[in-house]
């Protein structure tokens, strides 16, 4: 704690390691930096509005975001380090060219192809976003925040049905709201039932 407080006094922070983008939503990690990222401070689920404003929801430090935050910056730096001499003094530094090409390929890979959502997870988060307003995975959110959203979802369900939502799930009822309720209760059995009901409805 004392180390973080000391760092806050003289080190700037910036976001790196953007992963799992879903349109205007993503996971990022804020790093202490001195030109380059030095040490991760925290991760956040960032929601960007059309007017450019951001809502940042604190989440546990995301290892993938941290790793890619480092790799993306330092791989591009290494690429430039080897490419520049090869480009401007080829006769002397030609041996750096192949290294720069390999590093460029690695930089492109970690920047544009790594840290993306797979189709199933993108589908899940889009569904959550339609119901809740944002697609952050409930398991990444604090218990107090999940509880607040659960209350709102239960009120939404109560306005459309007198059947308790868990009973409606057990009866085979299909609804994105029911899926979100199961997700925010973090009950694996209820989540499986909700998704099965939804899948059965789509294919029948």
The tens digit of pLDDT for each residue in 161-177 reads 999 999 999 999 999 99
Model pTM score: 0.88
CA angle 31, 37, 39 (to 5 degrees): 55
In tens digits, the chain (204 residues) has pLDDT values of 344 554 555 778 999 999 999 999 999 999 999 889 999 999 999 999 888 899 999 999 999 999 999 999 999 999 999 999 999 999 999 999 999 999 999 999 999 999 999 999 999 999 999 999 999 999 999 999 999 999 999 999 999 999 999 999 999 999 999 999 999 999 999 999 999 998 776 655
φ, ψ (nearest 5 deg) of residue 54: -125, 145
Please check whether residue 73 is in contact with residue 36, taking contact to mean a CB–CB distance below 8 angstroms: yes
In angstroms, what CA-CA distances link 109 with 67, 71, 75, 122? 14, 10, 10, 20
Please check whether residue 110 is in contact with residue 64, taking contact to mean a CB–CB distance below 8 angstroms: no
pLDDT digits 0-9 by tens, 73-99: 999 999 999 999 999 999 999 999 999
């Amino acid at each position: 704690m004392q180390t973080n407080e000391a760092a806050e006094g003289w080190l700037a922070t910036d976001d790196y390691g953007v992963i799992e983008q879903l349109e205007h939503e993503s996971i990022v990690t804020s790093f202490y930096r001195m030109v380059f990222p030095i040490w991760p401070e925290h991760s956040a689920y960032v929601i960007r509005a059309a007017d450019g404003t951001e809502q940042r929801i604190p989440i546990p430090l995301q290892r993938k975001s941290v790793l890619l935050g480092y790799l993306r910056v330092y791989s591009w730096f290494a690429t430039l380090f080897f490419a520049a001499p090869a480009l401007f003094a080829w006769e002397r530094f030609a041996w750096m060219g192949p290294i720069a090409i390999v590093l460029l390929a690695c930089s492109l890979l970690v920047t544009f192809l790594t840290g993306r959502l797979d189709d199933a997870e993108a589908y899940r988060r889009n569904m959550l976003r339609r119901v809740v307003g944002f697609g952050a995975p409930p398991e990444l959110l604090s218990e107090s925040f999940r509880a607040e959203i659960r209350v709102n979802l239960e009120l939404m369900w109560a306005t459309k049905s007198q059947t308790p939502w868990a009973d409606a799930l057990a009866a085979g009822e299909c609804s994105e709201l029911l899926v979100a309720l199961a997700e925010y209760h973090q009950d694996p059995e209820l989540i499986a039932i909700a998704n099965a009901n939804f899948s059965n409805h789509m294919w029948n």
